[in-house]
Amino acid sequence: MSSAYSFTGGSLRLKGNATSTTQGGKVSKKHKHKSKSSKVIEAPSSKMEHVASTISSNPIDQHGPSGSGSSRRDLRTPAEIAYDEAMAKRAEEKILRKAAKSHKEQVEELNSYLDKLTEYNDIPKILKRMTRSMDDDFTYFVKILDDNSDRYYLKSSIDERTNTILMQLTNLKVGWIGTLNQNQVRALAKKFPPEEHDTFYSHTQRAFSKGNHSEIDGRTYVFTCKIIEKNRLEFVWKQMVDDLNSLKIIGSAELQERPIEEILVKMMDHAIDEMETLRSTNEQKIFEIQRINGQLNKALETVKQTVDTKEKLEADLYRKNKTEIRKKKIR
């Protein structure tokens, strides 16, 4: 009995010649996997003719995507061709610009770019300052003296976007905290008489940022801290009017007593953050000054070399003219 894998010998038969083989008077059918492989490899004659007719009717574009006369057709649209040409031209220009610069110039450009970058630990502080300025949030921390010459420390946050003011006050013995909400701020702004360029916010910001110091812009502010209850304090800020020799009330708020440790921690955190911000800004300015000094030294060196070259050329020219004059006299 013949098996499915028996081989009778002889030449191989193509698929088109026969669909089965005869062995010992019996017909053995070919396996399906062989016929599948044959179908994948071979193509019907009608399809081959169609491909041949298509190629003959559409001549090959000798300037295909590679531009080297390949046998493939350029199937790109005019827009794609224009885009590829523009990108190739741009890449060529980039290479030419890079090749025109010396290694020294490239290193100097890289150093200049790196000098302008901030340190990684300065990025959160810069983002914090940007966010604060975008939100119209102004934070101040000053030392003030009230009308009784008692010393206090005031930390304030004025948010013009939400029309709120947060105040934290302490005399290093007791701490108070208070917030003016939107309605209270609007009521104070209505009470404050409008001036040419000053508003309730501008006066409040100036008072909370400069304290009692009047040498900045010549305006003097006075503060009153009065305990009205056991755990409450009335805080009033006023402006000294020199012409009338009187005080003009700008705003007032009632502050609630809080643990001194809570107030001091917030003030210390703010002072340390501001100190670190100033330190990083100072370092950046020092780096910028050093970079400018380096560029100045290079410029001076270049000028010195130019002057030396000029003097040398003048000396050579003078010596050459003198030699020619001697030769003429000899003749």
**DSSP-based three-state secondary structure for 220:** coil
Which DSSP string do the residues of 273-288 spell out, in sequence order?
A: HHHHHHHHHHHHHHHH
H-assigned helices in the chain: 32-41, 45-57, 78-100, 103-116, 123-134, 182-191, 200-210, 260-330
Structure token pair of residue 46: 């009608």
* Contacts for 210 with CB less than 8 Å, ≥ 6 apart: 142, 216, 217, 221
Q: What's residue 153's pLDDT?
A: 93
Q: What's residue 236's pLDDT?
A: 92
Residue 203 domain flag: yes
**DSSP-based three-state secondary structure for 64:** coil
Residue 284 domain flag: yes
Residue 282 domain flag: yes
Residue 243 domain flag: yes
Pair 262, 133: CB distance under 8 Å: no
Q: What's residue 256's pLDDT?
A: 92
Residues 175 and 244 in one domain: yes
Give the span between the Cα atoms of 135 and 260, in whole angstroms.
29
Residues 159 and 253 in one domain: yes
Q: Which of 228, 258, 288 is the last residue of a domain?
A: 258
Structure token pair of residue 193: 């008489």
Q: What's residue 38's pLDDT?
A: 45
Residue 168 domain flag: yes
Residues 211 and 150 in one domain: yes
Q: What's residue 15's pLDDT?
A: 57
Per residue in 248-267, pLDDT (tens digit) is: 888 899 999 999 998 998 88
Give me the phi and psi of 24, to 5 degrees please: 60, 40
C-alpha distances (whole Å) from 62 to each of 2, 50, 57, 87, 102 are 58, 22, 15, 21, 39
Q: How many residues does the chain have?
A: 331
C-alpha distances (whole Å) from 225 to each of 83, 235, 252, 268 are 73, 5, 10, 22
Paired with 20 in beta bridges are 29
Residues 296 and 247 in one domain: no
Residues 293 and 250 in one domain: no
Residues 307 and 200 in one domain: no
Residues 311 and 231 in one domain: no
Residues 159 and 234 in one domain: yes
**DSSP-based three-state secondary structure for 120:** helix
Structural domain containing residue 230: 139-258
Give the span between the Cα atoms of 67 and 44, in whole angstroms.
33
Q: State whether the Cα torsion 36-38-43-46 is positive or negative.
A: negative
Structure token pair of residue 119: 């340190």
Residues 212 and 288 in one domain: no
Residues of the chain with confidence (pLDDT) below 70: 1-71, 117-136, 193-197, 215-217, 242-245
Cα angle 243-247-252, degrees, rounded to a multiple of 5 = 150
What pTM, to 2 d.p., does this model score?
A: 0.48
Looking at residue 218, which CATH number applies to its domain? 2.170.210.10
Q: Which amino acid is at 316?
A: D
Residues 144 and 253 in one domain: yes
Cα angle 217-220-222, degrees, rounded to a multiple of 5 = 150
Which DSSP string do the residues of 228-254 spell out, in sequence order?
A: -SSSEEEEEEEEEETTTTEEEEEEEEE
Residue 72 domain flag: no
Give the count of domains, the chain: 2
Pair 225, 170: CB distance under 8 Å: no
Residues 251 and 310 in one domain: no
Residue 106 domain flag: no
Residue 162 domain flag: yes
